[in-house]
Chain A
């Protein structure tokens, strides 16, 4: 510790040097980026943890896709636990002003067991806690329905065949965390009215829940006793069940934002390495002198390491404070997502940020520290004695290893980690290759340039390594922003434009068999094209060949979810034009052996091949048939399509509902209103509204990601300053020589300007090329829309890069222009 006071004293002075500021700034940006995401995620997690049972509506919930079996209710009663039940499903509701799809939740009297609903309304006054749940004959509705269908307090709305009075407007539901999860606004009703609606029918998408609450020990006993009894389509979610869907989605979002924030850490590490190297060069003679005065190598190491650690601590502390402030902005932007208040964040993200900052410092300052440790003492007599440089690859291996470990850790699993690592490496590698080629190309132009411009370009070429690092770091930052802003909206607009004008924009579901001729007649009556109606039977996949199927048989999360739920099976005689056979053959309509055709994507996910026999369970009846073909489906035709289609004759005897999609010209909303009036069980889903909602969510999420990428741009600028600082003495000396030789201030500014303008333009080019390349791939491969080049992207990239870097560069090199020449030459010559 004897070295700490010396380090502190030296730092007091060194802290004013450019490289020390750059080092602290790099850590500030990296830690701010990481802690912003960390604090925000912590608040969301905190909300989930603190209100876990409130969010659940009870201490434990049994969730089922069929009515919850009696034993679950009986056992709860035997344990002395309170119970409540809910039945949820989507349905159309009609008011005096129109119709809308709604998420109906029919609840028993005791609902909710934990937490309270909050309601408001003209009569209810301001937002207040509700007493219990809606009385029979009444509903409580979500705010949006009030104006959309005319459902103010006191008015009546139709839910299926029942007419119910609106008694309150819901402002907060305890068991809904994220507002966007439901595709439609909530209607809460009493379960006593459920039968009257006539909505729970064959093919309805209904979820039954049994909420349980009471003494913790009894709940634990209940949980233990009932879990082994769970059948297919049933599950238990507890307060400590960390795998709930909400949690999984949030973890995924946090992981993604975390990875985005690591881009700043990667760029900051470049700045740290540059600044630490410059620091070590400046300390070389001092270290030799200290050796001369009796300092051991360990002392030299410790004195300088302490300075780095102290600087880093300051940067990390400021970064954490900034991260704390920034998460509030992020939370504000994403506020629409959460129906619960977010608690204050804990201290963990701060520690995490500090650890990342310190690890970054240790990883990337070690080589310069080792260099100082090895300074030959003879330098006190002869300043030309060279310092042994540690092998940079070996020395930086620690830093690179640390960064890789950070990325893998943030990604949460090895595969995603390796992919992210590959992505980072590929992005930087491509940027480096492009940057190098551009620097070489631009330097050739210097013969044609005049005066200061020629010197500027010559400098660019001479400092190829340093220029390249700047081009890469800034290029990657600008590219991230271009992708999120211009390219994203561009692609969405192009994709929407690529859709035919008469593309279906409504789905009608839940049509019963006896209503088919009536529905067709209704469309004909209104002069609309008769829509194609497809039958739908809900069934569970039980075996592939002689392999029984259960979620446990799959590693893949999507596969697990698919087999957990019921499939919508359909049957057809002929292959539809928007389906194409990719393996096997479509059936001969006259063949009488039952067959299946499976969509190729799902076949891959579930490992189904042509020739496999699939066994299904539909309402307790089991049947099986062979897969004879795999199909490619054009999902974006927005027509009703099915993963699994059976040949005629296999499914007809099972209860079915029908689905159709149709194009509703704007201004003809009355078609839907009257359809629902005539067939109250039919639900119409407005695709335009859903797409609008998807767009709104994507806008909000991308704003959050943009926000995180702003740190990457800041980190890119810190790299720029680090590079400027590392060449500062050189620039000041050259400036002094130019001044001595008669250069005007204007010429000096132009020399610096040309170099930075070139770096900025090159970074802009790298960014634009990367963004255009990725847009091309996304457009052609993912969206299937021919790519159209958009001039705005490269122009914006070049403008952002050129102007930004030129301004920042000139600010950073003021000293080179303004230093008195004699002093500079004396000091540095």
Chain B
């Protein structure tokens, strides 16, 4: 208890790689009417570049909160996080947004596509926000890689759940991030579709050498990752 348990599925230590994510004493508390509730308590661990890591735990264990903290989507009560050597919470909100735009991609359980934009435009969005000139060509190419070359002009509501998640995967990889966070990426999909999306996600991850940090309660999915970080009642178990 109260410490990190990091296991290597094959028991061997990974080859020496630079650390891309480092968390130290990460704690998140929220105030409720009667007491302070600790959602994540003193999490300390690191993730090497190119690694794939599954954060696992039961519902309400704090895994999504931990992911939010690692990605700088939320601010911790205590502790620090470094992404690619840059200290996340030493920067302001906009600094963190810029860092995400540069280094991080996301895939969410509920896809989070903008309903006002077509598939192509959704994928172009992070490229345009980063000010890249050939956004449209790059987005089309990535959408082609996820098998949606013929659905570029479709709006999210015209796509199936699996297709929407594939657009989200394309959007996540479009900026060629070093690090990919995925929050229950198959949670809203049936098992067959979910499996296809996971295949795609891992294949693209491998191809690009991206570091993958995945939150899931699906054991089978967790097993496909190089390493697991288990969390229970806010405590990352050693």
Contact = CB atoms under 8 A, between A and B. Distances in A.
Given A5-B128, A13-B115, A296 B97 contact: yes
B108 A381 contact: yes
A11 to B, nearest CB: 8
B117 A294 contact: no
Interface string A764-786: 00000000000000000000000
A289 B122 CA distance: 11
B97 A295 contact: yes
Given A381-B64, A381-B183, A9 B129 contact: no
B67 interface: yes
Kindly name the residue among B71, B117, B129 whose own CB sees the greatest number of chain A CB atoms within 10 A: B129
A699 interface: no
A9 B117 contact: yes
A377 interface: yes
B129 A295 contact: yes
Contacts, number: 88
B106 interface: yes
Contacts of A294: 97-102, 104, 126, 129-130, 175
B159 interface: no
Nearest to A827: B157
Interface string A287-303: 00111111111110000
A796 interface: no
A6 B73 contact: no
The A contact surface, by secondary structure, is helix
A14 interface: yes
B155 interface: yes
Given A286-B114, A380-B112, A292 B93 contact: no
Contacts of B71: 292
B225 interface: no
B188 to A, nearest CB: 12
Interface residues of A, number: 28
B94 interface: yes
A485 B103 CA distance: 68
A13 B64 contact: no
B57 to A, nearest CB: 15
B117 A299 contact: no
B80 to A, nearest CB: 18
B131 A2 contact: yes
Interface in B103-155: 104, 106, 108, 112, 114-117, 121, 125-126, 128-131, 155
Interface residues of B, number: 35
Contacts of A380: 73, 106, 108, 112
A294 B72 CA distance: 11
Interface in A259-310: 285-286, 289-299
Contacts of A9: 116-117, 121
B94 A290 contact: no
A290 B72 CA distance: 14
A330 B43 CA distance: 74
Nearest to B122: A289
A10 B106 contact: no
Nearest to A16: B116
B74 interface: yes
B79 interface: no
A378 interface: yes
A297 B68 CA distance: 18
Contacts of B100: 292-294
Contact of B73 (A12, A13, A297, A377): A377
A6 to B, nearest CB: 6
Contact of B94 (A11, A285, A298): A298
A657 to B, nearest CB: 81
Nearest to A295: B129
Kindly name the residue among A12, A286, A289, A376 whose own CB sees the greatest number of chain B CB atoms within 10 A: A289
Contact of B155 (A6, A13, A290, A378): A13
A497 interface: no
A299 B183 contact: no
Contacts of B97: 291, 294-297, 377
A14 B73 contact: no
Contacts of A292: 71, 73, 100, 106, 112
B115 A2 contact: no
Contacts of B64: 381-382
A293 B64 CA distance: 17
A293 B131 contact: no
Contacts of B68: 378, 381-382
Contacts of A299: 129
9 contacts: A9-B116, A10-B114, A10-B116, A13-B117, A286-B114, A294-B102, A295-B101, A296-B98, A381-B67
Interface of A: 2, 5-6, 9-14, 285-286, 289-299, 376-378, 380-382
Given A2-B129, A10-B114, A382-B68, 6 more contacts: A6-B129, A290-B125, A290-B129, A296-B98, A299-B129, A380-B108
5 pairs of A and B residues whose beta carbons are closest in the complex: A294-B101, A13-B116, A293-B126, A296-B94, A377-B73
